[in-house]
């Protein structure tokens, strides 16, 4: 009998890929959606790349207890993916922090009650390096919450801290995957998220200049495969795994790849840091970029290769495939 996996946020960009990867490997998948109205579109998107006979949905919200205990029975594993990548600063930081932290605790407690063996949490490299100076960081690094790191980085840091606290001394195993900026093809359902918005703005000519920003990046299919490896690898329990290029990829290189692929509306001019700072006074997305301006952060991702047998997709391939999928 196939083992059952609960995937939170399965209608999202990463969640759809995780669901598809699990189904292709023979697992039974239960996906949570905030509204059942999103289930059909998500199923159709996943069906394009995976068999969906073993896919079902439950309605559950990270800010409510309703639905979580009913979602867990029979699940050997949980992938807690729900929580979007958002750079734009919200008017109230708790709009991001509350669902991230409260939702993580809620999911772990329901998993504990159901006797789930292992939970894989989708965190972020922001939980490791936000507020830190340029340099090289490994899986033991944590962001500096005393710095002005932005609501998204704060939400991911506090949610991951809450997860480690919640499993301490218990029987449920926790493994954390910390992706950088995630790119690669969308599976087709309506997708929200920073990566999709950034790519859409770039190829659509809505970004007039390129910010002086560089990020560790990763392919969305790689993220899904690493989640499955983190879920099943014997040596993965109790560890954090960086899913990002060892060296940061600049937005200038990102733009070059797109222009070379024929996307003529992609900008070539570079934005002075002062211009982004000025924009940040009235633009929430620019405000989210300010802490990243001019910073160069690299990662010690060796454990991801050694323990999870990672074979990275070239980022140039991810960028081109994502642009093509959004153009279609």
The residues that are catalytic are 156
Residue located via tokens 């900026």: 181
From residue 241, how far is each of 69, 154, 170, 308 by CA, in Å?
Answer: 28, 19, 21, 9
From residue 73, how far is each of 3, 27, 36, 123 by CA, in Å?
Answer: 12, 15, 19, 24
d(CA 114, CA 39): 24
CB 85 within 8 A of CB 156: no
d(CA 266, CA 115): 50
d(CA 292, CA 272): 13
Structure tokens at 124: 């972020």
Residue located via tokens 């929430």: 284
CB 236 within 8 A of CB 229: yes
Structure tokens at 109: 């407690």
Strand order in the sheet with 28-33: 55-59, 28-33, 4-8, 75-80, 118-122, 173-179, 240-243
d(CA 125, CA 240): 10
Residues 6+ apart with CB under 8 A from 26: 2
């Amino acid at each position: 009998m196939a083992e059952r996996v609960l995937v939170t946020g399965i209608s999202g960009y990463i969640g759809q890929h995780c669901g598809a990867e699990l189904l292709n490997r023979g697992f039974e998948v239960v996906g949570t959606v905030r509204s059942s109205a999103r289930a059909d579109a998500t199923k159709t998107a996943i069906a394009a790349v995976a068999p969906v006979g073993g896919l079902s949905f439950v309605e559950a919200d990270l800010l409510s207890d309703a639905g979580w205990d009913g979602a867990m029975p029979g699940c050997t594993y949980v992938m807690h993916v729900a929580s979007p990548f958002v750079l734009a600063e919200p008017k109230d930081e708790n709009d991001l922090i509350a669902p991230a932290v409260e939702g993580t605790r809620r999911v772990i407690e329901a998993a504990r009650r159901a006797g789930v063996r292992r939970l894989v949490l989708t965190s972020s490299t922001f939980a490791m390096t936000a507020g830190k100076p340029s340099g090289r960081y490994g899986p033991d690094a944590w962001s500096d919450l005393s710095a002005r790191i932005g609501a998204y980085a704060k939400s991911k840091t506090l949610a991951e801290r809450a997860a480690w606290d919640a499993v301490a001394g218990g029987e449920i195993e926790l493994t954390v995957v910390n992706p950088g900026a995630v790119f690669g093809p969308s599976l087709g359902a309506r997708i929200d998220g920073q990566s999709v918005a950034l790519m859409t703005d770039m190829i659509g000519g809505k970004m007039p200049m390129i910010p002086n920003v560089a990020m560790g990046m990763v392919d969305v299919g790689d993220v899904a495969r690493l989640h499955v490896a983190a879920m099943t690898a014997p040596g993965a329990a109790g560890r954090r795994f960086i899913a990002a290029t060892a060296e940061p990829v600049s937005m200038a290189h990102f733009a070059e790849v797109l222009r070379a692929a024929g996307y003529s509306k992609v900008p070539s001019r570079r934005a002075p840091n002062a211009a982004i700072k000025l924009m940040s006074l009235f633009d929430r997305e620019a405000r989210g970029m300010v802490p990243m301006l001019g910073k160069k952060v690299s990662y010690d991702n060796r454990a991801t290769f050694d323990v999870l047998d990672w074979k990275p997709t070239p980022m140039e391939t991810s960028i081109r495939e994502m642009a093509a999928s959004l153009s279609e």
